[in-house]
Amino acid sequence: MPHILYLDTETYNEQPINKGVYAYAETVEIMLFQYAFNDGPVYVVDLTKGGKLPQEVINLLLNPEVLLFAQNSMFDRTVLTRGNLLKDRPDIIDAISKPERWRDSMVIAYAHSLKGSLDDLCEIFKLETDKAKDKEGKALVQLFCKPRPKTSKIRRATSKTHPEEWDKFKHYAKQDIVSMREVVKKMPNWNMCEGSTELEFWHLDQRINDRGVCIDVDLATKAVECINSEQQRLADETQNMTDGEVKTATQRDAMLKHIASAYGITLNDLTASTIERRLNDPDLPDGLKELLAVRQQASTTSTSKYKALLNRVNSDGRLRGTLQFMGAPRTGRWAGRGFQPQNLTRPTMADWEIEIGIDAIKSGNADLLTDNIMKLTSNTLRGCICAPEGKKLVVSDLSNIEGRVLAWLAGESWKIKAFRDYDNGDGHDLYKLSYAKSFGVSPDSVTKDQRQIGKVQELALGYEGGVGAFITFSTAYGIDLDAMADLAVASIDERIMYEAKNAYEWAEKNKRTYGLSAKAYIVCDAFKRSWREAHPHIANFWKELDSSVRSVITGAISNAYINDKLVIDKVGAWLRIQLPSGRYLCYPGARIDENGKISYMGLNTYSRKWERINTYGGKIAENITQAVARDVMAWSMPCIEQMGFNIVLTVHDEIITEAPDVPRYSHDYLSQILSTPPRWAKDLPLAAAGFESYRYKKD
C-alpha cells in the first residue's frame, strides 16, 4: 500500500472564488493547513501567526513516493503551487505540482456516479454528522474566508477579532480530513484504482486545466462594452414602446402583463421558441412584433459568457480550470466550469461575417456594421478562444460518434457497413440517408438544412425515444415540425401511417399530444416506427439491456453478457455495467420498484438533488453509448499530446489543441489520431474531421 498524506487548506482572499481557482490563487492567503499521514492523527497548522509548515510535512511533500490526497484537489494543488505560501521553496512547488502524485476523493466520487461534495458524500454513506455543527462550520468559513460586508465595522475577521470562533474554525478544519478519509474507505474505487487508465486520463485532464486556453481579452472587453451600451438602448426603446410600463425587455412578468393589456394577447411564456414562433405569425400586430424582437435581442446569454471569461482569465491572458473530469453523471464525459464551452450557442452567421464582426467590435464600430448587436456578439463569442503568437488552433471532431457506437454495440450490421462505405467515399452521410429514407428523395439532393432533420431523427430515436424526444431535439435545432410534416407525409408507408394515426388518437384522448398539431404528431410518430423497423438490432438491444438489468438486480442471474461487449453484474447495492474499455458505469442503490420500474440513486440533473431516478432499456443504452463515445475520445488524448498537439479544451466529441504554426501539425493528422480505434474496439468504424484557425469557430 502506498503512503498517503491527506491534506486540506483554508484560505482567505479579497477576490471571490467564483473567478476560478487559478485567478483566485494569484492573490490567495493560506491560513490553515490540515494534514494526516496514513491513518495517523489529524493536525492543523495555523499559518496566520507566523507559523510555518512542520518539517514532517515538508519531508512528506518532498517525498515522491508519498501520494497527496485531497477533496477537490485542483483547488489545494493550485493554491499551494501558485500562491505565496511556498514561493521561497521552489523545490516543494516542483515536487507537488505534478498531478501524478495527487488523488482526489471528489473525482473518485464522480467516477462512480456519486455527488462530489464532502457533505453530500457523508450523507450518502451515512457517516455520523451533526447537522447543527455542520451549519456552524459553514458559518465559520463564511466568517474567516471572505471579506466582511461593507456594513461591518471590520473588513476581515481574524483570530484576534474572533478568538473563540477561530478555535472552533480550526476544529472544523480538522474534521474535514477525518470525513474525507472515512469517505474514501467507504467509496468503491473500481474506476480510479492505482494503475488504471482512468487515473492516467485524470492526470492528463489536470495538465490540460493547468495549461489553460488563450483568450482574446481585448475582444471580450470590447464585446461587454458593446453589449452594455446596446442593453441600455434596448431598455430605452422598451420604455418608449410600452409608455414606461416595462423598464427593460428582460422583465418577463411586466412584459407579459403589458402584452395582455395593450394587445389583448395572452402568452404563457417568453421563451426563445415562443418568440420565434410568434414573430413568424403574419397576423401578429406590427407593434407587438417589434416589442418581441427587442425582447429577443435583450435576452441573449452571451453577456454572462463574456463576463465569465473576463472574471476568470489569469494575468497571462489564459483561461484555466474550465474542464471538470467525469463531470457528466454516469457517462463520464467532461463538463464545464465557469465559462461553459460545452454550452456555446450555435452560430447563425457565416464565418466571414463573424471575422468582420470581430474586427468591428474591437475597433468600436460594431454599430456601423449591424443593427443587431446582440446577435453579433453572440456569434463572436467563440472567437475569444484564440491561438497565442506563433501557434494555431488545430481542431478535430469525431463524426456521428454516438450513431457509430450504438450501431457497433447493438450489432446493426447494415449501418456499420453504411458508415464504413461513407468513410471510404462509397456511400452517403448517415444524416442525409436518414432524411432521404423518410422523405422519399435521393440522398444526393439533401441540403444542409434538411440534413439537420435527419440528424434529429438519429439523435432522438436511437435511445427508444418517441414523439417527445423528437420535439426536444427539433427545438434545439430550430426545426418547424408542421413544415417538416408537410414535406414528409406523402412518403410514409400506409401501414405505418395507419399505426401512427391510432397512436395520435390515443394521445389525444389521454391529453399527451405535447401541443402538436395532428399532422405533426402523426408524422413524428411514423418516423419513430419507421426508424425502429429499420434498426431491428438496436431495438432488440434496448429490450435485452432492460431484461438483463432486471435479471441481475433480482438475482435471477449473477452476470449478463451483451453482444460480447458489455458485462452487467451487481456488487452489494451497486449495479455495474462494464464497458469495452474496462470502465464501469455505476448505478448505486439499483432496484425494481413496486411499480415494476428500474430505479437507482443518482443526481437529478434538473433538481440537482440526490434522489431515486427511474430508467429503462433505451435510457441505459444512451448511458452506455455516450460513455463508450467518451472512452473513444479519451483513449486518443495521450497519443495526441505525445504527437505535439497541446490539448486546451474538449467540447463534447471535439478536441481543441494548440500547435506550432507549421504544416506538419495539420487537422488531417489530428483527425487521423482521433479516429484510430482503441485496441478494445478495433472493428468500430470511426471518422473525424476538423480545421485549423487562429480563432475557435464552429466548423
Residue 303: pLDDT band (50, 70, 90) is confident
| Calculated CA dihedral for residues 247, 251, 257, 263, nearest 10 degrees | 70
Predicted structure pTM score: 0.90
Q: Which residues face 337 on adjacent strands?
A: 339
Question: Would residue 328 count as lying in a domain?
Answer: no
Residues of the chain with pLDDT > 70: what percent? 99
Question: Given a cut of 90, is residue 155 above it in pLDDT?
Answer: no
The reply to whether 24 and 159 lie within a common domain is: yes
Averaged over 167-171, what is the pLDDT? Answer: 92
CATH code of residue 114: 3.30.420.10
Domain that holds residue 161: 3-187
The reply to whether 232 and 139 lie within a common domain is: no
The reply to whether 41 and 173 lie within a common domain is: yes
Question: Would residue 465 count as lying in a domain?
Answer: yes
pLDDT per residue as tens digits for the range 68-111: 999 999 999 999 999 888 989 999 999 999 999 999 999 999 99
Q: What is the pLDDT of residue 63?
A: 96
The reply to whether 442 and 507 lie within a common domain is: yes
The reply to whether 367 and 422 lie within a common domain is: no
Cell of 85: 505560501
Question: Given a cut of 60, is residue 130 above it in pLDDT?
Answer: no
Q: What is the pLDDT of residue 244?
A: 81
Mean pLDDT, rounded, of the chain: 90
The reply to whether 147 and 15 lie within a common domain is: yes
Question: Would residue 418 count as lying in a domain?
Answer: yes
Question: Would residue 540 count as lying in a domain?
Answer: no
pLDDT per residue as tens digits for the range 526-569: 989 989 988 999 999 999 999 999 999 999 999 999 999 999 99
Question: Would residue 442 count as lying in a domain?
Answer: yes
H helices of 32-162, in order, are 55-62, 73-82, 90-97, 105-111, 118-124, 131-145
The number of distinct structural domains making up the chain is 3
Greatest CA separation for the chain = 84
- CA 156/CA 179 separation, integer angstroms: 28
Which residue do the cell numbers 471535439 mark? Answer: 654
Residue 301: pLDDT band (50, 70, 90) is low
The reply to whether 136 and 79 lie within a common domain is: yes
The reply to whether 225 and 373 lie within a common domain is: yes
The reply to whether 147 and 30 lie within a common domain is: yes
Tell me which of 170, 187, 204 is where a domain ends: 187
Question: Would residue 116 count as lying in a domain?
Answer: yes
Q: What is the pLDDT of residue 1?
A: 67
Question: Would residue 659 count as lying in a domain?
Answer: no
Averaged over 343-371, what is the pLDDT? Answer: 89
The reply to whether 18 and 145 lie within a common domain is: yes
- CA 455/CA 545 separation, integer angstroms: 25
The reply to whether 263 and 372 lie within a common domain is: yes
The reply to whether 182 and 265 lie within a common domain is: no
CB of 97 within 8 A of CB of 77?
yes
Question: Would residue 611 count as lying in a domain?
Answer: no
Q: What is the pLDDT of residue 263?
A: 79
Tell me which of 534, 554, 580 is where a domain ends: 534
Averaged over 423-444, what is the pLDDT? Answer: 86
- CA 462/CA 286 separation, integer angstroms: 42
